[in-house]
């Protein structure tokens, strides 16, 4: 199995999965815009709700996120799309949430499990506009760390562009 750390600095694996609300196929826009791809254990659980809402709120309340309207935030869980749609509707989540029922996306990205293998892992991958994985946040306990990680990645891109 691939380790998520092995992907850093390499082209992100192509991914196409059913998406909310209707199960239509969604393909990651690799090489087109920066992507924050976050894998979460289960729609509707406390930690996943806090993480998903933190990412939702960052668009409105975080100046760094506001400077990057091109950022594509994409969630992935093993839930069916009907459960994900209910979750998104209840919490006003407007970004794509993909259904990885068979776990193939988790395998592609090397996302393991947490809590002694009892639940799927919580990991966020930041993919730049060239389609390269720039970093991974693996924090199961601190759900807000994922939003901070994305912010740090966006700031790093800004600094790189200032040097050009």
Number of domains composing the chain: 1
- Whichever domain contains 46, its CATH number is 3.40.30.10
Q: Which active-site residues does the annotation give?
A: 48
- What the block records as the tokens of 20 is 């909310």
Element housing 127 (H / E)? strand 123-127
* Dihedral angle, C-alpha 137, 80, 117, 28, nearest 10 °: -30
Provide the whole-model pTM: 0.92
pLDDT per position in the chain (164 positions), as tens? 556 678 999 999 999 999 998 899 999 999 999 999 999 999 998 889 999 999 999 999 999 999 999 999 999 999 999 999 999 999 999 999 999 999 999 999 999 765 555 566 789 999 999 999 999 998 777 889 999 999 999 999 999 888 76
């Amino acid at each position: 199995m691939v380790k998520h750390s092995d992907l850093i600095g390499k082209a992100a694996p192509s991914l196409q999965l059913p998406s909310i609300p209707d199960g239509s196929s969604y393909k990651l826009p690799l090489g087109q815009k920066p992507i924050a791809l976050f894998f979460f254990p289960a729609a509707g659980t406390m930690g996943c709700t806090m993480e998903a809402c933190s990412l939702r709120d960052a668009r409105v309340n975080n100046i760094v996120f506001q400077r990057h309207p091109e950022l594509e935030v994409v969630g992935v869980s093993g839930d069916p799309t009907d459960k994900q749609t209910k979750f998104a509707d209840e919490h006003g989540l407007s970004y794509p949430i993909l259904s990885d029922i068979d776990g193939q996306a988790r395998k592609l990205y090397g996302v393991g499990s947490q809590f002694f293998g009892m639940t799927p892992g919580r990991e966020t991958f930041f993919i730049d506009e060239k389609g390269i994985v720039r970093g991974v946040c693996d924090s199961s306990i601190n759900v807000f760390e994922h939003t901070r990680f994305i912010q740090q990645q966006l700031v790093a891109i800004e600094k790189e562009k200032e040097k050009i």
